[in-house]
Structure 1
């Protein structure tokens, strides 16, 4: 009898291990991206750009070497393509990091990091992008572009984004909360109401970028949602919980928005207006911040 019981236990354990092995194989890419430091994919051959690219022009970049927000990326790409079309701007979308070299970047006025995650560039590509921004190029980062998967690149995490991601909400993950606008004179906030409700996976940060002198454009009211992360971690930042901010990087303009995990965000009228304003501002079509535009390298 004991042998039969032991055999039964071994069979059950074997079946469970087999199921786990199958699931691990099935989700191996996600496991690598989320739990094992991300994938290591670095392109060296750049994409072919259109011969005639109208100016202003925006480069929308959505490469992911860590967690991939697939649905949100597709929705945001479509939105920025429509924005560029409506404005008569040049537009190019890629996930090829080799596009980040001086001669290619010089054809664009702003770069959008659409939920970019992980370590996505070679050292030369990093330097080219850094020079692009410091010499007057614009940067607009969305959601995962400011998470903790970028820590291998200190300049990007500390100087371009300027805030250290700690965790996002998990109780529940997606919640509707009230966002409030600040600096109403900013062209980025033109045409927006003083506050509105937004459903999001709410990011928290170790400290407000306001402490570094960055200009906060929008905060979330922690009284309107449950700022609790995994295992009950308290994610409260207090009355100053920024979710959209900007600052100058050399002569360049940098703006980051922590919103945009779900595709519905890119169909919400208020957020569409904010991003339309933001891409115009980062491309130096509005506002006078960060000095005069200069010829890019």
Structure 2
């Protein structure tokens, strides 16, 4: 019993050391069938970023955190969280936070929500993710050089990932930050029995938008745990987080 209690307490850890925190971030990283090995690597690296950039970080895998008062968090990051596993109470808590002016960052797997299952969340993400090709090496292109999630990236960036395809059933206007060049990989390469179709020249893979009174940044990159050791990817995440939590950083 003592071990279980200690494990439960350890799911949330504060990580500011030696500096007054600028803001507080909650990361919900729930394991799923294909996304669990990334967790210890991502936790270590996000802790390092929190220490480097003087913000306070709380990390949890417990969706019940969304049922609590979240008003003290500048942003909530859903890091590969399988949102279909959030129950109605957790969903309602997250909606309350956002409707009160909260801010959200959605990373990779967390962008996936079954069409029509949670329309509010689909609108928050701004796109509905369909199936996706196998993990492949492709060329990511910077669309918005003014946005901080692109500041450390080259105009054309060789990257290996699952390049999600998306639709826009709710006609949400997003601001694309990164896209992927479909000429640089095979967008139809998928598992037997499934069909993947290309999106064409307009294939966003990272974007931001205003959602009600809040800010939302989405990146669909980040499938493998090793990616959280890549400084370019971490800088991409940090740039998106910086804007999401503060609203600052967009170049004039």
TM-score normalised to structure 2 length: 0.83
Q: Deviations over 1:151-177 (max 9, x none)?
A: 532211x211121211111xxx22110
> Does residue 117 in structure 1 map to residue 82 in structure 2?
yes
- Unaligned runs of at least 5 residues, structure 1: 1-46, 289-297
Moved more, 123-132 or 106-115: 123-132
Query: Does residue 176 in structure 1 map to residue 137 in structure 2?
Result: yes
Residue from 69, 81, 92 that aligns with 2:35: 69
In the alignment, the residues of structure 1 paired with residue 13 and residue 223 of structure 2 have an alpha-carbon distance, to the nearest angstrom, of 28
- Corresponding position: 1:185 with 2:152: no
Q: How many residues align?
A: 236
Q: Distance in 2 between matches of 1:190 and 1:200?
A: 20
Paired residue for 2:111?
Answer: 146
1:130 aligns with 2:95: yes
Change over 3 Å in CA distance of 1:81–1:200 after alignment to 2: same
Quote the Cα distance in structure 2 between the aligned partners of 1:79 and 1:168: 27
**1:14 is matched with which residue?**
none
Aligned to 1:215: 175
The TM-score with structure 1 as length reference comes to 0.72
Per-residue deviation, 1:54: 4.1
* 4+ residue segments displaced more than 3 Å: 47-50, 52-55, 148-151
Distance 1:49 1:180, change over 3 A: closer
Q: CA deviation at 1:253?
A: 0.7
Q: Which has the higher helix share?
A: 1
Structure 2: which 5+ residue stretches go unaligned?
1-10
After superposing the two structures, state which structure 1 stretch, 215-224 or 144-153, moved more. 144-153
Task: Name the SS for the 1:137 alignment partner.
Answer: coil
TM-align CA RMSD: 2.7
Q: 2 CA distance for matches of 1:202 and 1:273?
A: 19
Query: What is the alpha-carbon distance in structure 2 between the residues aligned to residue 132 and residue 222 of structure 1?
Result: 37
